[in-house]
Amino acid sequence: MTTQPPTEQPRRATERARSLVLLNTGEGKGKTTAALGTMLRAVGRGWRVCVIQFMKSPEWKTGEEAAAKTLGVDWWTLGDGFTWDSGDMDRTEAIAREAWRTAKDTIASGAYRLVVLDEITYPVSYGWIDVAEVVAAIRGRPEGVSVFITGRDAAPELIELADTATEMRKVKHAFDAGVAAIKGLDH
């Protein structure tokens, strides 16, 4: 397939926003990874950034967390791990609800220019966190606070709320062929 190079200049943005809501969803790999790329841009511009992880366990030690903390990012892993590993789903749900309370307060505080809500779509889709409450908190955020939402199965309300929504589509994944995650590439 041959694609012709563009010969006309693309449409130009004319409006400046103080903040945005970004969302990465879908079955493909890279939702969090892309959000962390935005985190790097923000840190590089001197922004204060906070990452709040809803599903990952604080027992997991990841390269992205180590690097982000070195850069001065506040990184809170507030989840309970994979739900299929949960011995007490009521406890797992309570932990997710508490993570949301922390996230809601963090957004409202205005202390950060970027707040990443990593994998918040899961507790929303499970009914553990009310989507209307999430939308209201993000809509009511202070003027200069941007929010990045990640996770599969984003609720339509979250997609509607987002200024930019991207769906990651899986074409192929090494895990499907039995290849385990590799430190440095996958975590």
Residue-range domain boundaries for the chain:
21-169
* pLDDT score at 103: 98
Say how far apart CA 176 and CA 173 lie, in whole Å.
Answer: 6
Third-level CATH fold of 21-169: Rossmann fold (3.40.50)
Which SS3 state, helix, strand or coil, does residue 177 take?
A: helix
Say how far apart CA 97 and CA 128 lie, in whole Å.
Answer: 7
CA dist list (Å): 2 to 5, 9, 173: 10, 20, 26
* pLDDT score at 77: 93
* pLDDT score at 122: 96
In this predicted model, what pLDDT tens digit does every residue of 14-64 receive, in sequence order?
Answer: 788 899 999 999 999 999 999 999 999 999 999 999 999 998 888 888 999
Q: What is the pTM of this model?
A: 0.91
CB distance 165 to 23 below 8 Å: yes
* pLDDT score at 27: 95
Instruction: Give me the residues of the chain with pLDDT under 50, please.
Output: none
